[in-house]
Every structure is written in C-alpha cells, then in structure tokens.
Amino acid sequence: MSRQSNRATDSKKMNSELFTLTYGALVTQLCKDYENDEEVNKQLDKMGYNIGVRLIEDFLARSSVGRCQDFRETADVIAKVAFKMYLGITPSVTNWSPAGDEFSLILESNPLVDFVELPDNHSNLVYSNLLCGVLRGALEMVQMAVDVRFAQDTLRGDSVTEIRMKFIKRIEENMPAGDE
C-alpha cells in the first residue's frame, strides 16, 4: 500500500520551470490588471488561499500525515513534508516565539522566483505572496487559523527568504459525524 502511494508521488513530479514560468506570467498579468502592488498582493493571497483549501486534501491523501498534536509538529510537517512534496525544498524552522505560537520558515531557495528580478517600480510587491495564501488556506481546513506573511525576501534585497507564521486560534467547528 505504502509502496503504491510512493510510486504515485514519484510520477507526479513535473517540469518545475513550467510552474515557475506560469506563476511569473500570472504575476505579470496581475500587475497589468491592478494599479498598485497592494492589490496584486491581495489577489495573489486570495488565489493562494483557494489553492490551499484544495491542496490540503491532496496532501492528506498522499502523505500519511495524521492530526498534528501541537504547532511545533505542524511546523515540521509543513517544512519537511509539504514543502518537500510540492516545491522540492526543505525550509528550516527557526525563531520560535517563547510561547511557541510563532515561528519562521527560512527558504534557502524559492522555486517561484527562479528567473525573476523585480523592477524598481514594484517595491511593495510581495512576489511569492501566493505561498502565504496557500499555507493559510490549507491550515484553515485543518482547523487552524494562522497568520502568514513574508518577513524577508531575497527578491527585495534580504539575504534570505523568511515566512513568518503565527498561530491565532483553533477553529471550533461542528464536524460532520464520522468525519476526521
């Protein structure tokens, strides 16, 4: 059974240039459609959210990850399993807040920005903002309200790319009977 799912995972690898370039074409289009960068960021986040709420199902079905006990475990799963599976990278998890409700993902490389240079007139654009939406949407589907934002971005001259994640609350929901 597990072998079979491994095989399915392997065959799902794809040309990441296609993904990177397609994402680039999208951002370019959004920059044309919207007047300012803030609007583009918002739209990217929204689209990411829509992807996240669907991606989580794909993720739970294909990885054998169960319910996370705490936020630390969630961080590990995101960095070591999810990022690895979908983008082929493993960000490091650092900068835990003392309360353990906030941490940073440090991305050595960001596949979304492989061939990207930001023009000067887009200083407020958070190019990879889609990722924030994806993380937020996916976690919301597992009853976690989380605030996600880029704290540093190599595209904007920082030395690393840092995604800051802050746990807000557990979403109480009446789950359908028999649903995990």
Partner 1 sequence: MADEALFQFLHSEIIQYVNSVETGESENGRCVSKLENMGFRVGQGLIERYHGRSVFILDHPFTKDTPRFKDELDFMKFICKDFWTSVFKKQIDNLRTNHQGIYVLQDNKFRLLAQLSAGKQYLEHAPKFLAFTCGLVRGALSNLGVKSIVTAEVSVMPACKFQVMIQKM
Cβ 46 to partner 1, closest distance in Å? 9
CA 64, CA 50: separation in Å to the nearest integer? 23
Interaction site with partner 1 (CB under 8 A): 11-26, 28-29, 33, 43, 47, 50-51, 54-55, 58, 85-88, 111, 115
Residue nearer to partner 1 on the CB measure, 30 or 146: 30
48 with 132: CB under 8 angstroms? yes
Residue nearer to partner 1 on the CB measure, 3 or 13: 13
Helices 130-140 and 37-62, interaxial angle, to 10°? 50
Residue nearer to partner 1 on the CB measure, 50 or 143: 50
Residue nearer to partner 1 on the CB measure, 93 or 131: 131
125 with 37: CB under 8 angstroms? yes
H-run or E-run covering 173: none
Cβ 10 to partner 1, closest distance in Å? 10
Cβ 6 to partner 1, closest distance in Å? 14
Q: For residue 178, which amino acid is it?
A: G
